[in-house]
């Protein structure tokens, strides 16, 4: 599937606002419900913030932050990609480790992985029809584990990485996950 929107920017904090505004404009153009649009923007902002904080912590200048979005019927799929070392628990991290559980609670589904070029990917899907089944309680709980199902944020991140990043990465590069 070809993305309907593609952004490639340096992974800098000031570019997150630009991405957030772009999704606001996309949501308005698609007449997305304001509450759902807020969820999409928050999840995308969190995924992009993770890239800025974690992917290139030691790099100056920072590497690329890519955001792709595709609309397929009533499903919006958003892919956030970077060239950092990947998603793993970091005890010395400046964050609280709540980003992935937050994304999982906002999106219909979340997939973590690496592409054929070993870039880190966070793929989120959102139902635009408003029939959100809470990804954390439904599809994402099976893939990521529901927030609160692990003792610490590090446990969540470790299980999310292990359970959703099989060797060789995903084969369905940007195709939205099939619903069961």
End-to-end CA distance of the chain: 20
**Other Cβ atoms within 10 Å of 151 Cβ, number:** 8
pLDDT tens column, 27-54: 999 889 999 999 999 999 999 999 998 8
In whole angstroms, what is the distance from residue 55 CA to residue 70 CA?
24
Q: What is the pTM of this model?
A: 0.71
pLDDT tens column, 121-162: 999 999 998 655 554 433 333 333 333 333 333 433 433 433
What Å distances lie between residue 73 and 30, 126, 176, CA to CA?
A: 11, 11, 11
In whole angstroms, what is the distance from residue 125 CA to residue 79 CA?
9
In whole angstroms, what is the distance from residue 13 CA to residue 9 CA?
11
Place of tokens 């772009």: 22
Place of tokens 């690496």: 114
Cα angle 63, 66, 71; round to 5:
175
């Amino acid at each position: 599937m070809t993305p309907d929107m593609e952004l490639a920017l340096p992974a800098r904090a000031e570019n997150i606002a630009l991405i957030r505004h772009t999704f606001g404009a996309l949501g308005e153009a698609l007449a997305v419900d304001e509450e759902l649009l807020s969820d999409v923007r928050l999840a995308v902002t969190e995924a992009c913030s993770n890239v800025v904080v974690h992917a290139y912590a030691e790099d100056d200048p920072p590497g690329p932050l890519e955001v792709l979005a595709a609309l397929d019927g009533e499903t919006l799929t958003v892919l956030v990609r970077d060239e950092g070392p990947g998603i793993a628990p970091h005890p010395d991290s400046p964050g609280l480790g709540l980003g992935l559980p937050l994304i999982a609670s906002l999106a219909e589904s979340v997939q973590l992985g690496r592409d054929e070029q070993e870039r880190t990917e966070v793929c989120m899907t959102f139902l635009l029809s408003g029939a959100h089944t809470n990804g954390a309680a439904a599809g994402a709980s099976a893939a990521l584990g529901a927030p609160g199902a692990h003792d610490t944020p590090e446990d969540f991140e470790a299980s999310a990485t292990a359970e959703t990043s099989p060797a060789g990465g995903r084969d369905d590069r940007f195709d939205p996950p099939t619903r069961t």
